[in-house]
A and B are shown apart, each in its own frame.
Chain A
Amino acid sequence: MTQDTTPQVLLNPEFHVGPDLAGWYAVGGGDGLRTAMADPKACLTTIEASGLRGMGGAGFPTSRKWGMLAERDAADKVIICNGNEDEPGTFKDRVLLETSPHQVIEGGLIAALATGANYLYYYINPHHMKGLAAMRRALEQWLVDDLFQDMQKALGKSMHIYVVESSGLYIGGEETAVISSIEGGFPFPRVKPPFPVESGLFGKPTIINNVETLSNVSHILRNGADWYQNLGIGKAAGTKLYSLSGDVLRPGLYELPMGTSLHDLVFIHGGGMLLGKEFKAVFTGGPSNTLLTKKDLDVAMDFDSVRERNSRLGTGAMIVISEGTSIVRKVTEYMDFFAKGSCGQCPPCKSGTFQIARILERFSTGDSTESDLAALENLCKILPGCGRCALIDGAVTVVESSLETFRDEYLAGIQRS
């Protein structure tokens, strides 16, 4: 993996000290937290000015989420750091948890100061064994550290931090499923409203932040909002971790300025297409969004610019597809993933993902007919909005988009049979 751009925050090897708190302090760790402790109220302003947004996929401004929690008048407030990461093609949070757990924890403590939260949960996918172990070791070190004692004084109440294992299921990453899971149940998504910030974990006001989001926080507090804002390209702020995979020469995790173009990611950082094959499309993470195609190579990969192309940046996963790889086979693979990942609460999602997967399987094995294509299109029309969470919507989006853009690949399947 080559990194030829200088501004590295999260992937800066300097900060990859593992679960070693002294090592973390040695590279400037703790400074951000001290800044926050000096003036907790200023945190929100700093984060707002930095332009930090939710890196879990939605891109919701972090300061607004924190602000909503800060406004709640409650004795107990909860922040959950979501490290369930299980989408195909996304592999950033596991790296952060493993290589720099103190970065994640300090970010959470600053968030607690900014919002007045006194419960902090790290909800981690048990499949990321190394990350989970690193977080547990790191947390033990914080709990006996003086800075943590001082932080509680600044907060004005005692701070409870837990590392909990998620179910390891894809659906367990959905906001309300995270809450169900920590409460001890199966990770069933819940109907919104009430939103978690109104009534979340055990009925307490709760917000959920992604691992990558919280990892940025201590650096912002330490180096200032302007510094972070200026790391991005154009209006976009900061850096982004892009999980690059698929038919490129050098797949891997890249931290680049937010707003780097898709072309640069694939052809400069990723080393270009594998064996020089033609670029065909990108599934963005993940992968439940509209496909980006050749005409989108110039897109700046920040939340707003990608949305202008009717797609989403999502987790920053970019699964690159060349002319040597079949879109139908890929979509079939992802649909199979969604069908297996559906929690089964909402019948349209449970049966719908299953039916679409079956039909796609026929396309990818050459057994499809014209009526299969019609059925697929019909399902794409009637299913969206039928689930309490967005799983079915994302699944339909990717099928619908592939049908629209790569219809000839579907038709080729019919002609063959």
Chain B
Amino acid sequence: MTTGISYTEALAAFNRTNDYPMRDDALPKDDLLRGFHPDQAGEAPIPLKIGVNSGMPCHPRLAAILQSNALIDDVNIVGAEIQNTDILVIGGGGAGAAAALTAADKGARVTLATKLLVGDSNTVMAEGGIQAAVGQDDSPQRHFNDTYKAGHRLADKELVKQMALDGPDVIRWLIQMGVAFDVLDDRSFGGRLKRKKPGGATAPRILSCKDYTGLELMRVLREAVNLHPNITIMNRCPTVELLSDDYGNCAGAVVYNLERRRFIQLRARRTIIATGGSGRLHLNDFPTSNHYGATADGLVLAYRIGARLREVDSFQYHPTGLAHPPHLRGGLVSEAARSLGAKLVNGLGERFTDELQPRDVVASAILREIAEGRGVERDGQLGIFLDVTGLIADNPNILKEALVSLAHLAGKCELDPSTTPLMITPTLHYQNGGVVIDRHGESTVPNLFCVGEVSGGIHGRNRMMGNALLEIISFGRRAGARAAEGMAEAFASRPGIHHVHDWQRQLSMAGLPLDIHGPTLFPDYGHFNLAADAKLASSFAAE
């Protein structure tokens, strides 16, 4: 059991000086990642046994749910109401909203079904900002280079190119919709966009709304989605299975209305999965910054119907999640703090890394300090300090102007950030890989699109700050536009859950357990059992 330096001692060391000495035992980047990054030092990946990616390494806990049995059987959807829609969007975060709005603007009838509520998503948790090459000293090419390099040159170049090129237009679209980005000039109208430099970038490229950029984005998108006459919203309707036609193409989804406790068949010409990531699976037993819904549902459903995946053994651990108090463990402290100059300090009152390196490097450096006993220990929780006292001393208004969320969070931790450092530890933050898509967001299964965190290929094995918000809008709009092109086609005949039976055959033949059912829908502690809730007649889905 690793221990650290007691909080009292660490605080004393912290208060000794304002000019923390830098340790001189830095490891080469590769050694640091190999020794301390949870992808490499955590639970070893296992090869997937069934599905189109058989043999590909995958995190064992994710593999268990990817190779799970279905939640429902054919008999369960007897009596289910059928609704037809041109485009079904699954997920009510930023990617889903952007896709729905774009498709609806092109005249398609869109149904947006979400497990929670529209806007209740990780998008609102994105604090730092959104990248876009809008500066005169910047270019999409530089944006591409930085992103590709940060992803360890493993990303799909085509996707990175599209995203970087879309950047300026995405910002224009968001501003037109009403997003209030920070500006340099104190003017009520116009003004130059304020840019910050994200970790690992060669130019300032982060646009933000203080440190609650995602919340501001979602405020605007949610309003637009709610008001759009072509969009029907179905809140609290988790997708339990996709529908497929005779050819294995996607033909919509079966959702479960939590309020009416009924299944609904949503038949659609095109289906866009925008369900986000998988932080709530708590891989490697890490805390997570992700919101309640991030249970990899879309990934599981897409894989079961035959979509190809990539890099499902690669996750981003954000360097600065709260380590104390225990009830807020995992909650995110924005990278905005570090990009403004906040320092990371260990239990000995020393700095140990350049805070503006890519996230995987900084997180690994923090985990190394903790593993080697130089962390801070308080009430059994281990972490290190994030110091903003110097920033506040330099600019007393910074908590109001730039670090609003941080001030709010410090309040919840009952500490004064101008005198006391926050105690932080890396937190499971982002799923780097996901469903393979093309530049229109279409998966390898016809009529099925995947956008946002559920998709893979854009970030390689490490994501830069600010690229997630750009990705969801860029590819959300791309998928929405592409999906709206198929409106003249006929609906698939005889949609059902045929692919589930093929899947179950593979499960049986591979000798995999049949009593693990997925998608997860809600984390364990949510204590939700679909079979019990829906009073399923068949004993099949009962636990």
Contacts and interface: CB of A to CB of B under 8 A. Distances in A.
B78 A413 contact: yes
B514 interface: yes
A340 to B, nearest CB: 8
A364 B505 CA distance: 26
Contacts of B80: 365-366
Interface string A248-288: 01110000000000000000000000110100000000000
Interface residues of B, number: 21
A364 B540 contact: no
Interface string B490-521: 00011010000100110011000010000000
Contacts of A365: 79-82
Interface in B61-84: 69, 73-75, 77-82
Nearest to A333: B494
Interface string B91-111: 000000000000000000000
A274 B8 CA distance: 61
A324 B74 contact: yes
B73 A325 contact: yes
Residue from the set A247, A275, A413 with the largest chain B CB neighbour count within 10 Å: A275
B78 A326 contact: yes
Given A274-B505, A275-B504, A275-B514, A364 B78 contact: yes
B494 A324 contact: no
Contacts of A275: 69, 504, 508, 514, 540
Residue from the set B75, B493, B505 with the largest chain A CB neighbour count within 10 Å: B75
B538 interface: yes
Interface string A328-340: 1100010011001
A329 B78 CA distance: 7
A391 to B, nearest CB: 18
Contact of A364 (B69, B79, B508, B538): B79
Contacts of B540: 275, 277, 324
A64 interface: no
A326 B80 CA distance: 12
Contacts of B508: 249, 274-275
Contacts of B78: 326, 328-329, 364, 366, 409, 412-413
Contacts of B501: 247, 274
Interface string A183-211: 00000000000000000000000000000
A145 interface: no
Nearest to A277: B540
Interface in A395-411: 409
Contacts of A413: 78-79
A251 B504 CA distance: 12
A323 interface: yes
A86 to B, nearest CB: 12
Interface residues of A, number: 25
Contacts of A250: 505
A153 interface: no
A250 B508 CA distance: 10
A388 interface: no
Nearest to B514: A275
Contacts of A366: 78-81
A416 B69 CA distance: 27
B74 A329 contact: yes
Interface in A352-374: 364-366
Given A326-B75, A328-B78, A364-B79, A336 B505 contact: no
Nearest to A340: B493
Residue from the set A249, A324, A325 with the largest chain B CB neighbour count within 10 Å: A324
B75 A325 contact: yes
B515 to A, nearest CB: 10
Contacts of B73: 324-325
B494 A336 contact: yes
Residue from the set B78, B494, B509 with the largest chain A CB neighbour count within 10 Å: B78
A340 B246 CA distance: 16
A303 to B, nearest CB: 29
Interface in A313-353: 323-326, 328-329, 333, 336-337, 340
A174 to B, nearest CB: 21
Residue from the set A247, A366, A409 with the largest chain B CB neighbour count within 10 Å: A366
Nearest to A368: B79
B33 to A, nearest CB: 42
Interface in A130-178: none
Contacts of A328: 78
A254 B509 CA distance: 19
A28 B258 CA distance: 65
A274 B504 contact: yes
Contacts of A364: 78-79
Contacts of B494: 333, 336-337
Contacts of A336: 493-494
A275 B505 CA distance: 8
Nearest to B262: A366
A412 B77 CA distance: 13
Contacts of B509: 249
Contacts of B81: 365-366
Nearest to A251: B505
A336 B73 CA distance: 21
Contacts of A333: 494, 496
A311 B111 CA distance: 45
18 contacts: A247-B501, A274-B504, A275-B514, A323-B538, A324-B73, A324-B74, A326-B77, A326-B78, A329-B75, A329-B77, A329-B78, A333-B496, A337-B494, A365-B80, A365-B81, A365-B82, A412-B78, A413-B79
The 5 closest A-B pairs by CB, nearest first: A366-B79, A324-B73, A325-B74, A326-B78, A326-B75
Given A274-B504, A337-B494, 14 more contacts: A247-B501, A249-B505, A249-B509, A275-B504, A323-B538, A325-B75, A326-B74, A329-B74, A336-B493, A366-B78, A366-B81, A409-B78, A413-B78, A417-B79
Interface of A: 247, 249-251, 274-275, 277, 323-326, 328-329, 333, 336-337, 340, 364-366, 409, 412-413, 416-417
Interface of B: 69, 73-75, 77-82, 493-494, 496, 501, 504-505, 508-509, 514, 538, 540
